[in-house]
Amino acid sequence: MPTLHAGTRVFDVQGVVLDKDGTLVDLNQAWGPRTVSWINLLVRTVNGPPHLAQAIFSLIGYNAKQLQAAADGPFISANESKLVTLAAGVLYQQHDMPWVHAEEQAWATIRAAYGEPLTATDILPLGDVTGTVRKLRQAGIAVAIATADSRDTTEQSLALLDIQHDVDLVMCGDDELPQKPDAEVFSWIAGRLGCAPERLLMVGDTVTDMMTGRNGGAAGTVAIVPDGLPTSDNLRLHADAILSSIDEITIADQTVSHRR
């Protein structure tokens, strides 16, 4: 069975489960400008005051001025449906909109802002993503993606990273399947890959990702925190190892670089 090194930890696994945004690609690069456009469009559409936009940004955990997600906020791990619910809740509570109308407007505007196809400009790989995924596959390690993102944009992202043919399995936020951090995520992935959950390594950038691995009985949990970004105490608590990119995960006796 292949042996993976992550920092000072060693894992004997048959597969790796990777989150996407914040793990493989820069979350803020891909979704920051679109999210600002969405919230501003939503507030304009409902004729809301300027402070309404700030209330929504605060609730979803996104700093519109710095284009930076809060380390432990909803934005980094919630799917579109949950973001819509949070935004609609602000319209309902602070703008006196009937719930059905608030939800309708939140959905209409997020689809308008997020609907344009992703481009190479939107996708900033965090390290040598393509090379690392291919090395894992060449070593006989299965690679699965478990993301809160939609299937459409996930497939676009994987194509832009040129790993669409190097991934064995993809689980998305709009699939009718269990969602992170449900333990069934790992059961489902393990079943499809033909291995036990404890033979899978969870790699992500959020506490939700780490809890997904722990809830599912993973071999271990590895957090990705790019250089220059702070590491939250919660993430440290739930991660077995913290790396700055997935290319620090090495196989067999390869040298591990940039340990934290």
Q: Name the 3-class secondary structure at 87.
A: helix
pLDDT of residue 256: 39
Alpha-carbon gap, residue 38 to 56, rounded angstroms: 11
Residues 6+ apart with CB under 8 A from 229: none
pLDDT in tens, 123-147: 999 999 999 999 999 999 999 999 9
pLDDT of residue 231: 79
pLDDT in tens, 169-226: 999 999 999 999 999 999 999 999 999 999 999 999 999 999 999 999 999 999 999 8
Residues in a beta bridge with 3: 12
pLDDT of residue 2: 80
Exposed/middle/buried for 238, CB within 10 Å: 0-12, 13-18, 19+?
A: buried
Alpha-carbon gap, residue 56 to 50, rounded angstroms: 11
At residue 140, what are phi and psi to the nearest 5 degrees? 85, 15
Q: What is the mean pLDDT of the chain?
A: 93
Alpha-carbon gap, residue 109 to 106, rounded angstroms: 5
Alpha-carbon gap, residue 5 to 251, rounded angstroms: 6
The reported pTM is 0.90
Q: Check pLDDT > 80 for residue 230.
A: no
Q: Check pLDDT > 50 for residue 254.
A: no
Q: How many CA atoms lie within 13 A of 64 on its CB side?
A: 18
Alpha-carbon gap, residue 91 to 102, rounded angstroms: 6
Nearest CA among 17, 12, 29 for reference residue 226:
29
pLDDT of residue 253: 53
CA distances to 12, 34, 108 from 61, in Å: 36, 15, 21
